[in-house]
Amino acid sequence: MITTISLVVNIAAIAFLALNLRKKNTQINIAEVRERPAGFIDFKTGRRVEINQATRKEEFVS
């Protein structure tokens, strides 16, 4: 009886923690997307590249 109660409590605690982690991750991801300007990843170098609107040339971003 006690083991089933503790099992239910543990499952509820794990579910609660999982929901909190999901909420935190989505908030962090949204903040990162807002801060980063549009660009893409150069697969040869693995660096992020942006297009300069004035010159239409690629610029590496650190």
pLDDT tens per residue, range 29-51:
555 555 556 678 888 888 888 88
Q: Read off the pLDDT band of 7 (50, 70, 90).
A: confident
Q: Collect all residues with Cβ–Cβ distance below 8 Å to 51 and sequence separation of at least 6.
A: 39, 57, 58, 59
**pLDDT recorded at residue 25:** 52
pTM of the model: 0.34
Query: Does 29 or 15 have the greater pLDDT score?
Result: 15
Q: Answer yes or no: are the C-beta atoms of 50 and 38 closer than 8 Å.
A: yes
**pLDDT recorded at residue 30:** 57
Look up the domain containing 34 and give its range: 2-61
Over the chain, what is the mean pLDDT?
A: 76
